[in-house]
Amino acid sequence: MSDRIFGGIGLVLAIIYAWAAAGIQESFLTDEVGPKVFPWIIAVILGLSSVWFLLKPDPDPEWPSWGRIAEIGLAALVLAIYAEALPVFGFLLPTALASGYLTWRLGSRPLESVVIGVLTALGIYLIFRSLLGLSLPREGLELAIDAFFSTIGDLFGNEPATAPQGD
């Protein structure tokens, strides 16, 4: 049954794809084939394989319970909120919350989760920002850490190794 639904979705996808490809504006300067043909070929393959799923479906996979599916959906939602929160709140707070949530759902005890979340966020920031100088979203807390490291760097006079340059 799953494969049949999948085939149905695939077929709709193929039709939308072919329709969208038909809507591509051709420029006056075009080659023999043009920008539409290859997408159409792809749509045909999508469509044919979807028809195959409709006709000869595989046995159903073992779907998890609805609770578990909700679990996965919720995790995706948390990650989506995390993506939106990063530029607004900086790196550390959202990362600590998101990784804390994930580890809690993966079986850590609540208090443990808080600790793991904070440590994950701090660890990643220290390695990827303070050590490797990657550009990460920064707000008050992050700027304070960077300032701290650049002070240390100044004290020892070899800043490039420890203090990332501002970006």
Partner 1 sequence: MELLGNLGDGFLIALTWENLFLALMGCFLGTIMGALPGLGPSNGVAILIPLAFTLGLGATPSLILLTSVYYGAMYGGRISSILLNIPGDEPAMMTCLDGYPMAQAGRAGEALALSGIASFVGAFFATWGLVLLAPQLVKVALLFGPAEYFALFTLAFATLGGIAATNQAKSAFAAALGLGLAMIGVDTQTGVPRLTFGEVHLYDGIDFLIAIVGLFALSEVFVFLEHRGTDRDISTKPPTAVGRIVPSWSLIRFCIPTMGRTTVLGFIAGVLPGAGASLGSFISYSMEKRLVDKDKTFGTGDPRGVAAPEAGNNAAAGGALVPMLALGVPGSGTTAVLLAVLLALNITPGPLLFTQNPDVVWGLIAALFIGNVMLLAMNIPMVSLFTRVLLVPPRILMPVVAMISFVGIYGISGSPFELLMMVGFGLLGWVLRKLDVPLVPVILGTLLGNEMEVNFRRAVEISNGDYSVLVGSPLAIGLWTVAIVGFVLPIVVGGRIKRRMPMARDEESAISD
Nearer to partner 1, 60 or 154 (CB): 60
Strands (E), 38-112: none
- Distance CA(162)–CA(142), nearest Å, equals 15
Query: 93: left (phi > 0), else alpha (psi -120 to 50), else beta?
Result: alpha
Residue ranges in 35-94 that form contacts with partner 1 under rule CB under 8 A: 35, 37-39, 42-43, 45-46, 48-50, 52-53, 56, 58, 61, 63-64, 68, 71-72, 75-76, 79-80, 82-84, 86-87
DSSP 24: P
**Which are the contacts of 143, defined by CB distance < 8 A and separation ≥ 6?**
none
Cβ atoms < 10 Å from Cβ of 8: 13
State yes or no: residue 117 binds partner 1 (CB under 8 A).
Answer: yes
Closest CB 167 distance from partner 1, rounded Å: 10
- Distance CA(47)–CA(54), nearest Å, equals 11
Residues that bind partner 1 (CB under 8 A): 2-3, 6, 10, 17, 20-21, 24-27, 29-35, 37-39, 42-43, 45-46, 48-50, 52-53, 56, 58, 61, 63-64, 68, 71-72, 75-76, 79-80, 82-84, 86-87, 95, 98-100, 102-103, 105-108, 116-117, 120-121, 123-124, 128, 132-137
